[in-house]
Amino acid sequence: MGAMAAICKEGELADYYLRKVEEGKSKIAVINAIRNKIIHRIFACVRDNRNRVAWRYEKNYTTALA
């Protein structure tokens, strides 16, 4: 359901969906790829021990040590 919601709203994942469907990929395969992207982003936030309040995904995130 998260992947379906992500492609309905303007943004990076919706653009990805439209681009891949235009390239000839099946819609369900692209939705599965978006699910995978969402899961990887969630685990990246958990891995980096981000504060629960600030668990928003940031495309250009840098750690405090960088």
Cα(28)–Cα(41) distance, rounded to whole angstroms? 20
pLDDT number for residue 50: 67
Dump pLDDT digits (tens) for 7-62: 998 889 999 999 999 999 999 999 999 999 999 988 887 887 766 655 566 677 66
Angle, to 10 degrees, between the axis of helix 12-22 and the axis of helix 27-47?
A: 150
Predicted TM-score of the model (pTM): 0.73
What is the number of other CB atoms lying within 10 angstroms of the CB of residue 37? Answer: 15
Residue 65 pLDDT class (50, 70, 90 cuts): low
SS3 readout for the chain: CHHHHHHHCCCHHHHHHHHHHHCCCCHHHHHHHHHHHHHHHHHHHHHCCCCHHHCCCCCCCCCCCC
